[in-house]
Amino acid sequence: MARSIRLHTPAALTAGGIVALPPDQAHYLGAVMRLAPGAVIALFNARDGEWRGRISALRRGAAEIEIEARLRPPAPEQDSDLWLAFALLKRPATDLVVQKATELGVAAIFPVITMHSLGERVNLARLEAIAREAAEQSERLSLPAIQAPQPLPALLAGWPRGRRLVAAIERAEAPPVVAKPGPTALIVGPEGGFAPAELDVLRAHPFVEPATLGPRILRAETAVIAGLALLQAAPRRR
């Protein structure tokens, strides 16, 4: 089986079932990958796991997959307790952040509006498509929940109790980012960093842990990747 072809579907996956794919996935199989009826692919979702499927029908804008056997059972993913909040960036950088956060196993993504943000609106459907493609490539079973943008004060006001929020702050006297047991999140500011008033607001919340990513000034998207990697450096369990 061509294991590189994995497609996410919200449909129920059971042996003998038939799954109808949407036009974009049908186009990918037929026009991009040039597959034909009889070819074997994988379908997956967090609820049902990953299953081997065989293309039973493929035509312009439509495809049907017959489900054959389970390849991987559903299971809690290793990094399901890791979230990401990040100040909105220009579209290419925002796209990259969502892609890499998905590959690194982030369970929830929170775009944040800050004083130095480079926008206040995003195309959630576009970001969800980027996350889906990243999940297909990285062999994770779940997709991250991508939230609508919200101002930093609103994010902090609604923050769940018991989840630490590691704030990557540049040019600060702070300990390095380290992994600890329990639910964790990383927040990264915009290009130019958080405004002084925003730093005061962050430090006023007991669940916020200021941290440094090292002596260099990183681009925001680089800081996201580095911070998430550091928070995954050791097992995090409740």
32 shares its domain with 110: no
Q: Provide the H-helix boundaries in the chain.
A: 23-27, 91-103, 124-138, 152-157, 196-203, 220-231
pLDDT tens-digit map of 127-142: 999 999 999 999 999 9
- pLDDT at position 95 is 96
- Given 72, 92, 117, which residue is the final one in a domain? 72
- pLDDT tier at 237, thresholds 50, 70, 90: very low
66 shares its domain with 161: no
pLDDT tens-digit map of 145-164: 999 999 999 999 999 989 99
The CA distance from 104 to 156, in Å, is 24
CATH number at residue 199: 3.40.1280.10
The predicted model gives 64-68 an average pLDDT of: 97
Q: How many domains would you assign to the chain?
A: 2
Q: Which long-range contacts (CB under 8 A, 24 or more apart) does 22-25 make?
A: 23/61, 23/62, 25/63
Q: What is the extent of the structural domain holding 202?
A: 82-231
224 shares its domain with 128: yes
The CA distance from 120 to 64, in Å, is 39
Residue at 20 is within a domain: yes
Strands 62-72 and 49-59, how do they pair? antiparallel
52 shares its domain with 92: no
State yes or no: pLDDT of 238 exceeds 70: no
133 shares its domain with 21: no
